[in-house]
Amino acid sequence: MVLGGNLRIRQQGNWVVARSKSYSVVRLESWEQYLSIISDSPYQNWAFRGQRDASAPLFSALSRYLMTFRVDPRAWPGQEERILRIFKRKAIHFLDHVPERDDDFQWLALMQDHGAPTRLLDFTWSPYVAAFFALHNSTEEGVIWACNPVEIEKENRLDLEKPGSFRKHFLSASRSFVWMGEPYAMNRRLIAQSGTFLVPGILDKSIEAILKEYPSPRNTLIKFIVPVGKIRDKGMRELYRMNVTQATLFPDLDGLARSLAYELEFHWAYDPRTMRPMRK
């Protein structure tokens, strides 16, 4: 079955591939189907993002905040630059290692890690990590986005570590494009999650809307819809056995504490003292 261009996925069972103008959509029917798809060679170098809501477009936290609270679009570049400056001036009191003042990408990654609204979107090189984020807190339909870095790299070869690069290419909001990459110094969470970032050149369009303008959009982005009722139980158990948990993806006390919720769920059918099946 063809997913745009030369990409093919073996058909397994009864599942549907739909096509929009900008990307292909695959509705998963089982955990095994997902594993079969991601094991194919075209996807071994792709980046992935898991979300709990299949209907949510790919907007950054910064875009969502600015649009939700109706900040005048003319003020967006100035406000983004302002919060970056505030963080640089005040965060130094909490950091053991302070990034170079003009290394904006490093500062933005640090802001992202600590919950500030930035234009960075978290992606991962691991399809298993993406599956975890699509499944762990979902009750209806999650989503896993897959993005082809080769197609993105064709359109934009930027060095965001270069002083002034972020201001020139992003704060100017003059061009509709997407950049992918990581900062030179990676924090613990980024390492644990095999993380990377997608960074949109403009804030008022979703990632999928921007990529629609690329020469080969269907070879660039794929949306896997994850019906939680069919996939979550087995998927989460398999990920748990792989040691893909909140505790490993967020290697700190907060991650450990959040991981305990699934410990309740995983042992639901067993006596935690003997690990024998509970009697019904």
Q: What is the 3-class SS of 135-188, one letter each residue?
A: HCCCCCEEEEEEECHHHHHHHCCCCCCCCCHHHHHHHCCCCCCEEEECCCCCCH
What number is the average pLDDT over the span 180-207? Answer: 95
For residues 261 and 191, what is the distance between their CA atoms, to the nearest angstrom? Answer: 23
Give the pLDDT confidence of 21-40 residue by residue, as tens digits.
Answer: 578 899 999 999 999 999 98
Give the pLDDT confidence of 42-87 residue by residue, as tens digits.
Answer: 888 999 999 999 999 999 999 999 999 999 999 999 999 999 999 9
Indicate the average pLDDT of the chain.
Answer: 88
- Please report the pLDDT score of residue 268 as a whole number: 60
- Please report the pLDDT score of residue 21 as a whole number: 59
Phi, psi of 149 (to 5 degrees): -65, -25
Give the pLDDT confidence of 130-169 residue by residue, as tens digits.
Answer: 999 999 998 889 999 999 999 998 877 777 777 778 888 8
- Please report the pLDDT score of residue 267 as a whole number: 67
Beta bridge partners of 35: none
Reading the block at residue 76, the tokens are 């967006």
